[in-house]
Chain A
Amino acid sequence: MAAAEGSKIDPMHQFLIEPVLGSHWVVGGYDLSFTNSALWMVLTLAALWLFMLGGMKRELVPGRWQAAVEGFTGFISGMLVSNIGPKGKRFVPYVFSLFMFILFANILGLLPFGIVPGVHPFTITSHLTVTGVLAIISFAIVLIVGFGRHGFHFFSLFVPHGTPPLMIPLIFVVELMSFLVRPFSLGLRLFVAMTAGHILLKVLAAFVVNGINLGGGYLALVSLPSLVLMVGITVLELLVAAIQAYVFALLTSVYLNDAVNLH
């Protein structure tokens, strides 16, 4: 019976979206239910807001918490200034929000809240809808800034310096394609990294649980190595959580650099 229960472990179940408390709110034909995904978005926002509140003491000599918050803001503004130049400071609020939101969402989804009965952690960044919307927001800002600053001259971004006149139509199409692919690559990269990591962890966890349920040699040969592997991969996933947030923010700032400075 225990083994039968173990075999029910579905590595994809963690990504399932369900309305919290089972109620559906349909507004104007759209289902705007407060789902587990929305709950974890709110939790991410709350955790981030609390974290930032610790940095608002604004003391001359910062405490540890204030120093940590200032470290993050300094990291983002340093990244923007080194990629875009002094003009990049304008984008600190957006890129900081983006980076911290993804970072906190990634890490909150990875923390072992599942050991509390009834709590099901949910990684909002493992959903293409969420990462896609974030990528589209970034891409839209790049377009608005680019056309706002340079007008139709922004299209010169697609014709690199020194292109032979004969090649211009072809290069233009190629560059335009690579430009238009950006939001997809941006959104897919985060979604795939998060999803793959969580599936891997869940599959290994299923190995551990099934091995324990079968007992004996399975326990020693399957569960134990899987558990050791899980510990290592969890550490790796923490690293990936930070790196993916960094990559998303870094690529956004690189794209913003194109929009602000062209080539």
Chain B
Amino acid sequence: MPQLSQVAATYASQIFWLLVTFGLLYFVVGRGMVPKIVSTVDAREARVEGDLAAAEAARRTADSTEAAWRAEMDAARAEAGAETAKAKAQATASAEAQVKAADADLAERLGQHDLAIANAKGQALANLENVAAEAAQDIVARIAGLTVGIDQAATAVREVRAHG
């Protein structure tokens, strides 16, 4: 078995070259390259984690924005409803007031007209008495040949009318 029978002759060369190659390997590859590769992997993992966190944060922001928008929309809708109701109430109130004013106006005008009619009626009645007194004076003058004063005739007419 050369591994054992050659040991005495080759151990120095084997150990020397192993230390040279393994030392180079350790310092060039193990110390030089491996940490860089590991750091690349770590950086990638950190990046992926960061991106995921950023996406999560963005999602949360979107959610909160949507909630705020919804609340704002609800508030705006409620406000608009309140304003509509107010305007409606105002319109109703003003319409009522207008109707009331028109009613009052109409009632006043009716009263004036009633008064005018009553006046005209009174005047007409007065005129009628005058006409009746003149007619009675005329009749008395023609039939009895008497001259009766207008006041006397009027009194007589009034008496006759009062007795029916």
A residues sitting closer than 8 Å to B (CB atoms) are 12, 15-17, 30-35, 37-38, 41-42, 44-45, 48-49, 52-53, 55-56, 58, 60, 69-70, 73-74, 77, 92-94, 96-97, 100-101, 124, 126-130, 133-134, 137, 191, 195
Bits for B3-28, please: 1 = Cβ < 8 Å to A, else 0. 11011011111111111111011101
Q: Are A92 and B38 in contact (CB under 8 A)?
A: yes
Total inter-chain residue pairs, C-beta < 8 Å = 130
Q: Are B21 and A44 in contact (CB under 8 A)?
A: yes
Q: Are B13 and A33 in contact (CB under 8 A)?
A: yes
Measured CB to CB, the nearest residue on chain B to A69 is B37
Q: Are A16 and B21 in contact (CB under 8 A)?
A: no
Q: Are B3 and A15 in contact (CB under 8 A)?
A: yes
B62 adjacent to chain A (CB < 8 Å): no
Q: Are B25 and A97 in contact (CB under 8 A)?
A: yes
Residue among A31, A55, A195 making CB contact with B3, cutoff 8 Å: A195
Q: Are B14 and A129 in contact (CB under 8 A)?
A: yes
Q: Are A70 and B12 in contact (CB under 8 A)?
A: no
Measured CB to CB, the nearest residue on chain A to B22 is A101
B residues sitting closer than 8 Å to A (CB atoms) are 1-4, 6-7, 9-22, 24-26, 28-31, 33-38, 40-41, 44, 47
Q: Are A74 and B41 in contact (CB under 8 A)?
A: yes
Q: Are B4 and A55 in contact (CB under 8 A)?
A: no
Determine how close the nearest CB of chain B comes to the CB of A95; give it in whole angstroms. Answer: 9
Q: Are B30 and A93 in contact (CB under 8 A)?
A: yes
- C-alpha spacing A96/B33, complex, angstroms: 11
Determine how close the nearest CB of chain B comes to the CB of A137; give it in whole angstroms. Answer: 8
- Give the residues in chain A near B28, CB-CB below 8 Å: 49
Q: Are B12 and A56 in contact (CB under 8 A)?
A: no
Q: Are A42 and B21 in contact (CB under 8 A)?
A: yes
- Give the residues in chain A near B9, CB-CB below 8 Å: 17, 31
- Give the residues in chain B near A49, CB-CB below 8 Å: 25, 28-29
Q: Which of B4, B15, B17, B36 has the most CB of A within 10 A?
A: B17
Determine how close the nearest CB of chain A comes to the CB of B143; give it in whole angstroms. Answer: 143
- Give the residues in chain B near A53, CB-CB below 8 Å: 33
- Give the residues in chain B near A42, CB-CB below 8 Å: 17, 21
Please list 14 pairs of residues, one from A and one from B, whose beta carbons are closer than 8 Å in the complex, sorted by A's number.
Answer: A15-B3, A38-B21, A41-B22, A69-B37, A73-B38, A77-B38, A92-B34, A93-B31, A96-B34, A97-B26, A100-B25, A127-B14, A130-B14, A137-B22
Determine how close the nearest CB of chain A comes to the CB of B42; give it in whole angstroms. Answer: 10
Closest 3 CB pairs of A and B: A93-B30, A38-B17, A97-B30
Q: Are B26 and A93 in contact (CB under 8 A)?
A: yes
